[in-house]
Structures are given as C-alpha cells and as structure tokens.
Structure 1
C-alpha cells in the first residue's frame, strides 16, 4: 500500500540555512529561492517571534530537491531545484488555498505547474503580471558612484512614509501597507529627501525576494534622474552591507525602469521571466492583512 505523502514544516533554523545553501547551485539560476530564504532568516534573527510565517516541504525531505513552500500570512512562494512537476504540485495541492494567496516570483519553469494547479483545484485568479529580470554583481554594485543632486540628501525611508509609498506602488493590494511597513523596518531601503522641506521625493525598497521594488519618484520631481540616484544608492548599500548581488524585476512594459537599470549596467538575464499572481479567497472578497497584527 502506497504511503500517503504529507506537507511538513521546516522549523529548525539550521535546516533552513542548509536548504538555503542548496540554492547557490548554478548561480544565479536559483538566486530567487536563495534570497527568499535569506530574507526571512534575517527577519527571524531580528525578530524571533515573527508570526504567521511557515516553511513547508514534503515528508520532511527538502534535501533531495530543495523543495520548499514559504507562507507569510497571505504571501506564498514556492520552489524546487529540478523544476519538475510531480512532488511540487502535490505539495502545493496539500496547502489550504481557501483564504487566497498573493503568489510571488513564479519562475517561468514553475509557471505551468502553477497554472495547471489553478485549473485543477478550480482557484479563482484575480490578476497576474509578467516581469523580466535584471542583475548586477556585488562587485559591480560596490563600484557604483552615487551622485546626489545639490539640495537633496539620501537617507533611509521612514515608517511615516509607508502610506505614500504604498499608495504609489504599482503592486499595491489589500494588506500591502503592512507589508511596506515591514520592508521599511527590516530591509535595506533608500530615500531621496529635499533638504529645505524634508520632502521624500524618490525611494526604492528591497523586497522579500531580494528584488529591488517600489522604485518611485513623486510626480512633481520626475524627469530629473532621481530614480537613477536611489536605484544606484540601494544597490551599493546591499552590496556593501550584505555582500550580495543585486536583482530587479521589471514589468515588461515599464520602459522607464528598464532604462534606469540599463544605465547602471545591470544585465538583462535573458530567458528569466517571473510572474506574480493573486488567488481570491473561496468565500469571496479579497485577501487582506489582519488588523493590528
């Protein structure tokens, strides 16, 4: 009689660190899985009581194929090294999809697995977006020159600006304000401020997947190269502080963002396409972050 496979949690930090090391294979092909694990291991180090965070695998076997599913509240990421369907699809089927998920950084080789699952389980997809990937090595990022314009200064983004950032974020969704607040609190970020008024004019955050995100310049200060300034500054900060390569996902039709990264000598990683998607709760409505949590 065949043994029924089960979704099991990975709870030991040492196991998570060893799982992360598996994703160094064929760098940077598996960098997104590496950065997801790296991000949350750093978050847990800063806040050991970080809630609503679970790492899953199938039958406690993450060693053979690096299979893991990461769930943080309504956010979902999944990966395996072989990109094969059988075990990963089974693991995803065992998840509780009833409350919906925001599924992030779905690699193109995993996308067909995900789409098959959506159809088979009869999940309702709210929206989906496809992106391309740019990358800059740590060594190259450390050499970037930061040309802060006269009358402005660079500093970390402050929590008081979370509403502004969330409202202008193209990936905004129910619950994303709380996510923006956590990204500001825990991750590398850069803001460009006007010296005289203290106005936050441009910013860039690092997402949980390691990608640069929420790169924005307020409307009154556009077309002055400020996006280039903050993108360079955050790239150099990540390389200097974390000694990691820099990655960015750009919507395929966002020519302005593409130009920013190309001016900084980021390389377009051809064939590396990623998708993100929203799955609606089965009871209707939209996913959201619980209040005051």
Structure 2
C-alpha cells in the first residue's frame, strides 16, 4: 500500500523534536521549527489554518518526517534526505492555492525542487539564504544596555501595524502573522522613553529564526539594528536556546552585522513561493 499523508498532533511533534537533538547543530533548523510550533499549540491549541502531517509509514515516524502547513507557509524536515520519503510527502500536498516554502534546509532542497518541477509549478521567487548560528552560551554575552533616552522591551500587539508596514516582506495576511508572532514568540523593540516611539525591532519567526529586523529610516546608522539583535539573542539564550538567523546572499550589511556579533554560517536554507494553479492567491480577511 502506498504511503499517505497522516495528520499528527502536539504529542507527535514533541516526540519528533527529541530526534533532532542528535549530532547538534546539524538538525537545529528542524528542532527549533518544531519547538516554536509546540509552544504555539500549548498556548493556542485551536490555531486556525494549521495542518501537521507525516507519512503513514513507520520509517517516516522513526525519522521524524514532518510537513507543516501554517496558513500558506510550508515547513518541512526529516533526519533522512536520501530515501525519497520527504519528496513523497511534499508531492501529496495540495499546491493549488500556492505555498510559501519557508526556511527549507539545504539537504531537503533537492526533494522540493523535484516536486516543483514534476508538478510544473510556476515560481514567484526562489531565494537562497545563509544560516547564521550562535550557541546559547555565546549569546548570553551579548546583553547590552540601551542608549540614554531609550528603553528595550517586548513588542505589543499595538505595534503590529507599524512593524508590518515597515517590513519589506509584508503581503496579504502578514499583519495577522506579525500579530501572532508578537503574541506567541520572543520579540524586542527599542522605544524612545519620552515619546514611546518604536524605532527598531526584531521578532522570532515560526521557523525559530530572528526576523522582521527593522530600523526606522529616521533612526538608521545609530547601531540600533545591532542593539535589538543583541537583546533578542540574549533573551533567547536566557531560555536555553541557541540563536539562528537567515540572511539573503545579497544582504551584505546584515551578514556583516551578524559576523561582527560572532555568528557563524553553518548551512543554507531556501525560501520558495509557488503561484496558485487555480486563480489568484486569496486569504480570508484578518487571518
């Protein structure tokens, strides 16, 4: 009998996550992706538009094979990238509405590319990124004090419209995404004490990476990007987490900042978005 997609729950994600601790940090992408979704489900067990799958074979479960479709974003991982099982799982997904394949580890890119080619899917983009990594014990040394007149604190949901508007990657449905990440993940904002203006920020994304790192144009070249990166890295390390960030190959300033802080490139990840095969991309308002 051929393998089928099989829905899984929180308890299975927790079992899978344990598998990715081996040969650290080889599988840190999968480990922290699952870590975030596990925490999401603990806080909001009924998250809308979230599907969790593995294949209906013992081997797939033994290898922690997972495919997560979070609204229109796809995350995938497995201990094994040579047996074709992940390719099978991706092939069984519904691609008709288009999917944003997010932070796919380099060892799984071939499987994704084969499915995209076999289904003759058109691409909106295909962007490789470098995986910058720092151990928790090193990130604990990044603690920094804000400059006079400013304060560092977690973002609030009220900040989401500004964060979304300033984010170069904002898109249909991204305001909801930013709101959810602020509610469920570690975040840092730098605020002017007198005016309470938010001038720089960073949020942990679903895949476990630092993201949405932004400084207001009027406040650039003051080191604020590095400041919020140091603070959010310290906060994650204080919870026992190593720190990861993804930087596009053309983004030399961000790559330089992470290297200066002591991050090292240990892998590459791919971001790939497919066009819908039926009509235009749509998403319910407010979701």
Q: TM-score normalised by the shorter chain: which range applies? A: over 0.9
Aligned-pair distance for 1:289?
3.7
Q: Which moved more, 1:54-63 or 1:216-225?
A: 54-63
2:263 to 249, 261, 266: 266
Aligned equivalent of 2:32: 35
2:247 to 238, 246, 250: 250
Structure 2 unmatched runs, 5+:
none
Aligned residues: 286
Aligned-pair distance for 1:170?
2.9
Aligned-pair distance for 1:28?
1.0
Aligned equivalent of 2:211: 213
Aligned-pair distance for 1:190?
0.1
Cα deviation digits, residues 231-279 of structure 1 (max 9, x gap): 0000001111x2110011111111111122122211222xx11111111
2:275 to 280, 284, 292: 280
Aligned-pair distance for 1:145?
3.0
2:188 to 183, 187, 190: 190
Aligned equivalent of 1:88: 86
Aligned equivalent of 1:45: 42
TM-score for the superposition, normalised by structure 2: 0.95
RMSD: 1.4
TM-score for the superposition, normalised by structure 1: 0.93
1:57 lines up with 2:51 in the alignment = no
Aligned-pair distance for 1:142?
1.4
Secondary structure at the residue paired with 1:38? helix
Cα deviation digits, residues 40-61 of structure 1 (max 9, x gap): 1101111112122121111153
Checking the alignment, whether the CA contact within 8 Å between 1:9 and 1:60 is kept in structure 2 is no
How far apart, in 2, do the equivalents of 1:64 and 1:17 lie?
A: 13
Aligned-pair distance for 1:285?
1.7
1:156-171 equivalent positions in 2, closer than 5 A? 156-171=154-169
Checking the alignment, whether the CA contact within 8 Å between 2:106 and 2:268 is kept in structure 1 is yes
How far apart, in 2, do the equivalents of 1:53 and 1:60 lie?
A: 22
